[in-house]
Amino acid sequence: MPAPGITVLGNQLVTTDAGNLGGVHVSAHEPVVLRGVNFSGAEYACLQEHAFWDNPKGNQATIDAVLRWRANVVRVPLDEECWLGINGAPKAYSGARYQRAMADFATLANASGLIVEVDLHWGAGGTGLPNSDRYPGLDKDHAPAFWQSVATTFKSNRSVIFNMINEPYITSWPCYRNGGCTTPRVGKLGSWQVVGTQSVLDAIRASGAQNVVIVAGLNFSNDLSHWLKYAPKDSARAIVAGVHVYFDDLTCENPTCWTKEFGAIQDAGYPVVVDEFGEFDCGHEKIDRLMDWADARSVQIGYWAWSWNPFSCSKGPSLITDDAGDPTQTYGSGFKKRLENE
C-alpha cells in the first residue's frame, strides 16, 4: 500500500486516506507526525556535476535505506533553473528531463510509504545560475512559474508536500508576504525583486493543487516571531510553519524560544514542522534537546534531519557514511536510534 495523502486539520497534519506511512498502516483522517531526512543533491548536481543526483542516487536502493531507519518523510531540495530549463542550465539535466527525474523519484518513494517534500532550494532572479543555496527571497522573475509548474506536476498527489522557499533572509516580513522589495546582493548574481508568498501561494492554488504548503520563517528559516501576522491567506487551509534549527548562533535555538514562537503558532491553529535541523560537531546532544522538546508537545512537532549524504561530518551535518545508509558516529547513529524508538 502506498503512502497516504496528507492535509491539515487545525494544528495537525492528518491523512486524507489510508496508507502505508514508513512501514506503519494508517487510516484515513488519522493525525500523523512526520519524521525523516533531507536528501540533498538534486538542488546542485544538475548544474555542478551534470547529473540529476549526487550520492546516493535517487533510486529504490536509497529509498529502502531511508526506510530501514524508520523514516516516513524525505525532503528533496530542487533547483529553480534546472526545473524550468532556463538561464543556460545543462539541457540534458534540466527542463522536462529534470522534472521527470524528480517526479519519478517521488513516485517511487510514495509507493514505498514515504511522504515527499519538494522545496525551492537554489534559485536566482535575472539570467544567472545559482552556485549556492543563498536565495534570500522568492524571485519575481521565475518563482511563480516554478511553483505553477511544480504544483501542476504534483497536484494529483497529496503525498507530496511543498516548501515555498528554503531559507529566506530578507528582513522585511511585509515584503515576504506581499513582495515589492529588493533582496540583498548575492555575489555575481546581484539582487532581484521579491514576489510575495501570497502571490506564489495563490498561483499554486490556481493550478488546482491542494497539497500542503510549508511557509518558512525568516532569518534562514529560524525566525518565526512574526509568522502568524504575515502568513499568507490560504484558500485550501493547508499551510504549515516551517523552521530550521542548527545551533549556529541564530535567534531561536533553545526550548524557551521554541515554546514562545513555535508553540504560539500551534496555539493559533497551525501545524509546525522542523523540516531541516542538525549540529556541526557530529554529536547528537543538541539535536536531542530539540527532539525531546518536539516530542513532548501535546501536538507533537515533526522533524527531518540534514542530510542523507555520505559527506563526512567535517563538511556539515552528515547522517550516513555510505550509500547503504550506515550512520555516522554519533550524529547519524543518535538520530537513527531516535527514529527507531518512535
User: What fold does the segment set 6-341 form as a domain?
Assistant: TIM Barrel (3.20.20)
| Residue length of the chain | 342
Give the pLDDT confidence score for residue 342 in this predicted structure: 79
Could you tell me the mean pLDDT of each successive run of 10 residues in the chain, 342 residues long?
A: 97 98 98 98 96 97 98 98 98 98 98 98 97 98 98 98 98 98 98 98 98 98 98 98 97 97 98 98 97 98 98 92 97 98 84
Contacts of 57 (CB under 8 A, 6+ apart): 323
Question: Which residue type, as a one-letter code, is found at position 158?
Answer: R
- Domain borders along the chain are 6-341
Separation CA 161–CA 273 (nearest Å): 12
Residue 102: Cβ-neighbour burial (10 angstroms; 0-12, 13-18, 19+): buried
Backbone angles phi, psi at 221, to 5 degrees: 70, 20
End-to-end Cα, the chain, rounded Å: 21
- What are residue 34's phi and psi, to 5 degrees? -90, 130
Q: Which amino acid is at 341?
A: N
> What is d(CA 34, CA 21) in angstroms, rounded to the nearest whole number?
9
CA distance 29 to 295: 21
Residue 270 CB-density burial (10 A; 0-12 exposed, 13-18 middle, 19+ buried):
buried
pTM: 0.98
Q: Amino acid identity, residue 75?
A: R
Angle between helices 143-154 and 96-111 (to 10 degrees): 40
Q: Give pLDDT, residue 189.
A: 97
Cα 8 from Cα 6, distance rounded (Å):
7
Q: What is the pLDDT of residue 315?
A: 86
pLDDT at site 314: 87
* Closest to 170 (Cα-Cα) out of 152, 205, 197: 197
